[in-house]
């Protein structure tokens, strides 16, 4: 029986991915920064483990608790929607700590067992912002582009050991709490300095008026495909809007 460790499973893509792998008969180590009861079903093949990817000691403890794993899915992340000029650098650093450095740290911690065993897959969940243009996303896109570059080079380093690295690029999903978390309860005036307001409104109206969106299950299925792919494909757009962006690119 194969085992997958998925970060950020309290909601959204991570939760959907945990449910999908569990339904396919896998053992799932579902990590959450703050574990909550009732988010995932009780099962002898599903364990919830506490993990804050910005805490090195927490990463070590989570992997020790998990035991051997076959796949790591780096899904945990923080969203960010703002005009860069008005974004405090403390917020920029927070986004990178989770979306970039947290992914790297968790990956680095799991690689020795993959390399020694001669198998394993790392799947890094990024975003369709790397495929096209999304308004008010300079910081978020930068953090995800970094992981795209990281993964493409990492894949080359790991190939001689039979280990794979992939990215999954979700489109825009209306059923997650991305926007709420991204704004942290801030008012539009705080997010968008006055000189940018006319442009920001037009950009957001265009974005919310698009005709295709991603479902959480689209991402779970894309992660599944990435894990089982044998063609050497590196990037997996998830959701019809992401697929359209990838094809246009």
**Residue from 97, 79, 179 nearest 138 by CA:** 79
Q: Report yes or no: 5 and 73 within 8 Å, Cβ to Cβ.
A: yes
Cα–Cα dist 102/105, whole Å: 5
Q: Which residues contact 190 (CB under 8 A, 6 or more apart)?
A: 86
Main-chain phi, psi angles of 149, to 5 degrees: -65, -45
> Of 21, 26, 140, 224, which residue is the catalytic one?
140
Scan for tokens 């998990």, then name that residue. 66
Q: Report yes or no: 62 and 46 within 8 Å, Cβ to Cβ.
A: no
Cα–Cα dist 215/219, whole Å: 7
Between the alpha carbon of residue 70 and those of residues 28, 95, 110, 209, the distances in Å are 10, 28, 10, 40
Q: Report yes or no: 6 and 21 within 8 Å, Cβ to Cβ.
A: yes
Please indicate whether residue 13 is annotated as part of the active site.
no
Q: Report yes or no: 59 and 109 within 8 Å, Cβ to Cβ.
A: yes
Cα–Cα dist 136/193, whole Å: 12
Q: Which residues have a catalytic role annotated?
A: 140
């Amino acid at each position: 029986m194969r085992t997958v460790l998925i970060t950020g499973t309290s909601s959204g893509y991570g939760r959907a991915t945990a449910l999908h792998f569990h339904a396919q008969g896998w053992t799932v180590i579902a990590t959450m920064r703050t574990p909550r009861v009732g988010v995932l079903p009780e099962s002898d093949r599903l364990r919830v483990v506490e993990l804050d990817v910005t805490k090195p000691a927490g990463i070590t403890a989570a992997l020790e608790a998990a035991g051997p794993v076959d796949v790591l899915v780096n899904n945990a992340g923080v969203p960010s929607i703002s005009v860069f000029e008005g974004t405090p650098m403390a917020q920029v650093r927070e986004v990178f700590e989770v979306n970039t450095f947290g992914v790297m740290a968790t990956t680095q911690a799991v690689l020795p067992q993959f390399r020694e065993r001669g198998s394993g897959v790392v799947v890094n969940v990024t975003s369709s912002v790397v495929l096209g243009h999304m308004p008010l996303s300079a910081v978020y896109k930068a953090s995800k582009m970094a992981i795209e570059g990281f993964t493409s080079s990492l894949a080359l380093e790991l190939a001689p050991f039979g280990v794979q690295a992939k990215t999954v690029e979700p489109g825009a999903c209306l059923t997650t709490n991305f926007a709420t978390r991204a704004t942290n309860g801030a008012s539009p005036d705080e997010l968008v300095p006055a000189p940018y307001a006319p442009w920001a409104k037009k950009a957001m109206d265009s974005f919310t008026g698009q005709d295709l969106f991603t479902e959480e299950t689209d991402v779970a299925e894309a992660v599944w495909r990435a894990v089982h792919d044998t063609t050497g494909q590196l990037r997996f757009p998830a959701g019809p809007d992401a697929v359209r962006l990838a094809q246009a690119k």
